[in-house]
Amino acid sequence: MDITIESLRNEFNHELNTAHSSADLEQIKVKYLGKKGPLQNLMKSLRDVSPEERPEVGKQINLLKEEMEGALEASQTRFLSTEENAQLEREVIDVTLPGRRRFAGRKHIITQVLDEMIDILIEMGFSVQYGPDIDSDYYNFEALNFAPDHPARDMQDTFYLSTDMLLRTHTSNIQARIMEANRPPIRIIAPGKVYRNETITARSHVFFHQVEALYVDVNVTFADLLATMDQFVAKFFGREIETRYRPSYFPFVEPGMEVDISCLNCHKSGCYLCKHTGWLEIAGAGMVHPEVLKYGNIDPEVYTGFAWGMGVERLILLKHGVSDIRLFTENDMRFLTQFPEV
Ligand code: PHE
């Protein structure tokens, strides 16, 4: 009996190993495990086995049966049906097709324009400095000649973090710091974010970007300020652009002014961008107030200086015809992808 079981096992394994298709497997299954197969015959012949040997032999036959079922099951994956083959055929990859373009990250339009402004101003002789976004009342207001109860503080709706600390309302917070730490000639720019507690609308936001400029030396004049500003604007827009200087008040400059440029969108005939005035304000500017020079330990009898704070978003609105400042912070890819890096 043992010999018969063993030779059946060998025969089965041999056939299984030489099968070529799932149809072959099916045949093997019917042949060995079917009702009239050799396993059933073996079972039947158990009758002829002595009662002592019967349980052991029966066990062997069952073992072989389980073995065959397991081996057939495991072999299924060796052969795919024609349908499965057809599916593979359909999914075949055409390696000659061009690849799908992946979207590569790029600089945000604000970063791009900041870089552009910085490059122009470096070329004009300025060096770059960065001030803290979180600053003290001293650097943001006091050292800029805002008296504690000065109504000008109300001009800037400030986010206070404590009685003394705040989110800077302008990049002018760099001025006293730079003057304390350096002797003239000082010729720096300071780009960065500024924060104001304002209602968010198409034209104002709780944070935006400025580029501060500060130039202190002997004989720095108002003419230097106008010429530097005009030259920057011409370089930035790539052509001569009309500028307009309006007297204005900031405690840290005297005289102070606001700088407008003619609206590029409507050529001064009036449109939504310029609120139908033909002009757009891009900066506050002026000659550094003698008191501010004193805060920076610089003798106002010897030195003079000019400063400006320029609005970055404003320049982008004009240069690219963006109508709503909120778009800059909404992360809408349809908007952002319109500004490829050049
Ligand atoms: N800091 C001013 C503002 O935020 C702008 C300014 C800077 C004005 C420097 C004069 C000189 O509006």
* Token representation of residue 265: 């969108």
pLDDT tens figures, 226-251: 999 999 999 999 888 899 999 999 99
Distance between CA atoms of 276 and 332, rounded to whole angstroms?
Answer: 28
Q: Does the beta carbon of 146 lie inside 6 Å of ligand 1?
A: no
For all residues of the chain together, what is the average pLDDT?
A: 89
pLDDT the model gives residue 172: 97
Helical ranges in the chain per DSSP H: 2-17, 22-33, 38-45, 54-75, 82-90, 109-123, 137-140, 174-181, 222-237, 290-295, 312-320, 333-336
- Locate the ligand 1 atom nearest the alpha carbon of residue 210 and give its number: 4
Distance 112 CA to ligand 1 centre (A): 22
pLDDT tens figures, 6-28: 888 898 889 888 888 878 888 88
Q: Does the beta carbon of 282 lie inside 6 Å of ligand 1?
A: no
CA 174 from chain centre, in angstroms, equals 27
The phi, psi pair for 275, rounded to 5°, reads: 50, 35
Burial class (CB in 10 A: 0-12, 13-18, 19+), 209: buried
Q: Does the beta carbon of 253 lie inside 6 Å of ligand 1?
A: yes
Distance 213 CA to ligand 1 centre (A): 9
Burial class (CB in 10 A: 0-12, 13-18, 19+), 298: buried
Is 254 flagged in the annotation as binding?
A: yes
Distance between CA atoms of 179 and 297, rounded to whole angstroms?
Answer: 7
Distance between CA atoms of 280 and 127, rounded to whole angstroms?
Answer: 27
Distance 84 CA to ligand 1 centre (A): 73
Q: Does the beta carbon of 191 lie inside 6 Å of ligand 1?
A: no
* CA dihedral (334, 335, 341, 342) positive or negative: positive
pLDDT the model gives residue 75: 80
- Is pLDDT of 183 > 70? yes
- Is pLDDT of 218 > 90? yes
Distance between CA atoms of 288 and 57, rounded to whole angstroms?
Answer: 109
pLDDT the model gives residue 23: 83
| Planar angle of CA 120, 307, 301, nearest 5 degrees | 130
pLDDT the model gives residue 152: 59
If you average pLDDT over residues 53-60, what whole number do you get?
86
Q: Does the beta carbon of 308 lie inside 6 Å of ligand 1?
A: yes
Distance 255 CA to ligand 1 centre (A): 12
- Give the whole-number percent of the chain exceeding pLDDT 70: 97
Distance between CA atoms of 326 and 36, rounded to whole angstroms?
Answer: 82
Q: Does the beta carbon of 251 lie inside 6 Å of ligand 1?
A: no
